[in-house]
Amino acid sequence: MTMYFSKSDEETTRTLLQRMFERSEEARIRDVVLPSTTGRVAEIALDLVPDSVKLTVVTHSVGFREPNGDEFDPAIRKLYSGSRHSLLTATHLFRGIDGAFAKAHGGVYPPQVFAAALRLFGQGTKVAVEIAIMAADAGFIRIGDWVITSGGTGHGIDTAYIVKPCHSNDLSLFEFGELIGIPSNL
């Protein structure tokens, strides 16, 4: 059953995480991919995650907001260090060198077009797809296996899917399996 959310906040984040973990156990899905800018989503997830699930948390890259700036809380990064879970801090798929050219010289490049198309289903959908591909490219999750991935609009998460991720060099392998939760404007 798909969940619909009217806001993106900590309550929605907790509710959706609980449903994602329930669904992972029902479908025997081991890997769950989460975005976390400051570490708050990552921290909440650690309190709720069952032993059967491995988290991959994707942070903003260093320098995302300001030169050399890391938005992720070092205390939460330390909680993940040495655990069975993974943190991925890397350049975002839709914000690489082409994003720098678009910002400096104008124009639109294919990754921005793809990101804009995904945003038609909400910012969380764009994030969920992006971080699943990033986690696959980093080797934290396997392509061809069902995983749960999530995204958000502003603060926390409000969107989750079951997907088969791909590597960024072959989008034809990406597959949507199930929608777990998404924002609703109704």
pLDDT computed for residue 179 by the predictor:
98
Distance CA 158, CA 184 (A): 10
Contacts of 78 (CB under 8 A, 6+ apart): none
Distance CA 119, CA 103 (A): 19
Sign of CA pseudo-dihedral 137, 141, 145, 148 = negative
Q: Whole-prediction pTM value?
A: 0.92
> In the structure, what pLDDT confidence band is assigned to residue 63 with cuts at 50, 70 and 90?
low
pLDDT computed for residue 98 by the predictor:
72
Fold of 3-183: Pyruvate Kinase; Chain: A, domain 1 (3.40.1380)
